Structure 1
């Protein structure tokens, strides 16, 4: 649970949740302003170890690596996507509550 609910785990699973495969460089660009290359690599390795992500290395030069969600990863991503949309829809209410608290 710790790995898929971590800050980076959530972002990677949401990025991969479109159903397609992603090259490492595509993921790095998609998440460039949020996660470092080192953390992206570590997160992908952890999610692969846990069975949420498949890593496919193509036998070409230079190496071509693609990442895709496994069925287990797709299930987790569906739940995270729902939570993400709920948070997004309720952000104004959360911000108002924070302002109210800070003013008190």
Structure 2
């Protein structure tokens, strides 16, 4: 509760922070709930003026809107695959130049 009180006090002193906070929370809510309508409304609001804090971010999202829409409406994710690729690359970097293929294979298979 102390954090909320501090946040509200910050909003009193800096009204622009409250606007920024609300913008971020709207975006965050749209992504977490996978609500495409709220997300598209958020993009429209941000693109309404170059002075909006996330104008260029929204412009970048708009350039790849189909991929973002698919991520919001599809129940599928490639996160598990990306995690395994990241793990493999990390192991490869750690053992670079010090281990042969046999040791690399063991580290991958036994999660060392």
Taking structure 2 as the reference length, what is the TM-score of the superposition?
0.31
In the superposition, the TM-score normalised over structure 1's length comes to 0.33
The structure richer in helix per residue is: 2
Computing the radius of gyration over CA atoms, which structure comes out larger, 1 or 2? 2
